[in-house]
Chains A and B, each alone.
Chain A
């Protein structure tokens, strides 16, 4: 039995772990691929918090467990800090901006293999989600501080072609680093066309400056015939909006599909490169026509040009892609 078969077996039987007999049959090397002791660094407990990165990590975490891996989540609030350095086959460094560079130095000293799973630009920019990509970024102290941690990684995973391109532009040292591109997992069971009557345009969290607030306002002003619903946070909630726009308070994740389904189009015009932007994928799977720009990471994936089925398939398979990459890098 090969590791792939073992995974399929676990999946088909809904089990999380291989039996001792199965492990014996699998053999040491294959077993190593199939059952990894993994430590997963994250700033937040993604089981209870539903930000974009946390939703992605949650899906990968569950998929990893289902594949039989022994995964320990470590956050900065993990009571015993030594757990972060416990013996492991691999450390996955996900959204972990609160872990200091010294942590990675220690991982290297201990000879631990670690994979950098990048969700944004926190190694490169203190503004983390906003990455201006100006020449002075080459002199940024963040770059100096974190580059050794990145170079010490066994592998880097980015969320989109645009994400990697943006990183390499200001961190060319990573060009030859082994890498993979894995999109954010979005389920077509959660986001789908409900066949509801649609009207107007929706934008989600676009009223934050780094998400392109001024671009959105400009677009709204240039399209007075379009009614635009602005969902979520706004950096300047007191500002008057153009008459064809209105704000809606935060929509819970489980109600988003319904809200997308009531709109014809989804608008997203960031002004710094977005690693992925799962809302674009969600809205698209929910049947919206997507109006974005060249800075939306999701839209840099070729499968977005191949229709909804291709998008649904690629995003549903993201956790498997993620683990294949992780297992293959050892």
Chain B
């Protein structure tokens, strides 16, 4: 097997505290450990511009725009002598890459979320040219296989730093509790999500408002970890309208952009919650995993990744679906069921007289999501691709030495 030379493009820099940034941070060093740092190049068009940085011995290559950097992806691929492009993230924004793959200019492996209902042409037209599609979930794998994709490979879940993501006692986190406006006698709700429309923040807030109105003694508190007024929605306006502003805390934009929320801080925040809400169509849903890693129950949507990733919590059915601008259909959660799930969780919390913590969920995360385990699955996949590349001769091989010699032996006929 020849050595893989991987161009890893998860869009986000390993220094960025986004989901994709964290994935890059943990997975690429393990890839580098196996294949050599010089054989793993990170492409990070988000937050990496006009120069090349180093991360754990690997190059972090820049982009020219706030996107997947497709305009220079081929240049990076060729300049680094890569033979695999490991592209991570949504496939829908991709424009140039499918063309490059169709022309065999890159060997494109797409690790992607399947966070849509059905398989719109928009998706088919793009990912049909990937050499391999590795969905984030088994549910996504099954869906793409059902849609007729022959290039779908075994799903690989996302990983977590399981040494860091462990349960902590709330009593040891008084400052964090205070910063979130959480108390021991309040019902502490947590929502984490940058993509406010896809995360269905509006419906989740409506569910909380219904719950609050129905169960007056619950005394809920909400912490939303998102950019409150500069994102896709004006969340502050939603909170006002729904009467939730008085119980809601959120981070300042300044603290978000100045690194105020490193992973260790987020671990503490999750540990302070009674329930994590993530009631939306997910391709994976990092916050569901993070909540479970510390034993916090999750309220999730029964469509998408939720039922596969969550072992402790309550499922909410979709009420309807909406076709988005890119022709992808997204499920809309049933707001009434969100309120009911909250009430169930609140009653359990009251009955227990202490925060609900699931050992089963903690063990599930420890057993299945350590980055070493995820990387091991990637090694299998990459090694298999390399063997296949040779067997199927994905790239035109050079002539044998014997042929080179014979090519130099001139034969003349007069």
State whether these chains interact.
yes
Verify A136–B413 contact, CB threshold 8 A: no
A-facing residues in B18-42 (Cβ within 8 Å): none
Answer yes or no: B391 CB below 8 A from chain A CBs: yes
Complex CA gap A278/B396 in Å reads 24
Please state if A134 and B410 are interface contacts (CB–CB under 8 Å): no
Q: Mark A275-315, 1 if CB is under 8 A from B, else 0.
A: 00000000010000111111110010000110000000000
Which of the residues B396, B407, B408, B411 comes within 8 Å of A127, measured between beta carbons?
Answer: B396
Interface residues on A, range: 20 to 34
Q: B372-401 interface mask toward A, CB cutoff 8 Å, 1 = contact, 0 = none?
A: 000000000000000000111100111110
How long is the Cα–Cα vector from A244 to B400 in the complex, in angstroms? 30
- Tell me whether A175 is interfacial, beta carbon within 8 Å: no
Q: How far is the CA of A268 from the CA of B397 in the complex (A)?
A: 21
CB pair B393–A125 under 8 Å, yes or no, is yes
Report which of B403, B409, B412, B413 forms a contact with A133, defined as CB distance below 8 A. B403
- Determine the residue in chain A with the shortest Cβ distance to B402: A133
Confirm or deny: B178 has a beta carbon within 8 angstroms of a beta carbon on chain A. no
Is A295 a contact of B413 with CB atoms below 8 Å? no
Chain A residues 75 to 128 lying within 8 A of chain B, measured CB to CB, are 125-127
Q: Which residues of B contact A294 (CB under 8 A)?
A: 406-407, 409, 411
Q: Does B414 contact A (CB under 8 A)?
A: yes
Q: Which residues of A sit under 8 angstroms from B410, Cβ to Cβ?
A: 269, 291-293
- Which residues of B have CB within 8 Å of A134? 397-400
* C-alpha gap A133/B400 in the complex (Å): 6
Q: Is the CB of B397 within 8 A of A292?
A: no
Q: How far is the CB of A274 from chain B (nearest CB, A)?
A: 11
Structural contact, A299 and B411, CB atoms closer than 8 A: yes
A304 to B414, CA, bound (A): 9
Name A265's closest neighbour in chain B (CB-CB).
Answer: B412
The listed residue (B396, B402, B407) touching A293 by CB distance below 8 A is B407
Select from chain B the residue with minimum beta-carbon distance to A300. B411
- Give A241-276 as 1s and 0s: 1 = Cβ < 8 Å from B's Cβ atoms: 000000000000000000000000000011111000
The residues of B with any CB-CB pair to A shorter than 8 Å are 390-393, 396-400, 402-404, 406-414
Chain A residues with CB under 8 Å of chain B are 125-127, 130, 132-136, 139-141, 209-210, 212, 215, 269-273, 284, 289-296, 299, 304-305
Some 24 contacts from A to B, beta carbons below 8 A apart, are A127-B396, A132-B398, A132-B403, A133-B399, A133-B400, A140-B393, A209-B396, A212-B407, A215-B407, A215-B408, A270-B407, A271-B403, A271-B404, A271-B407, A272-B403, A291-B412, A292-B411, A292-B413, A293-B407, A293-B409, A293-B410, A299-B411, A304-B413, A305-B413
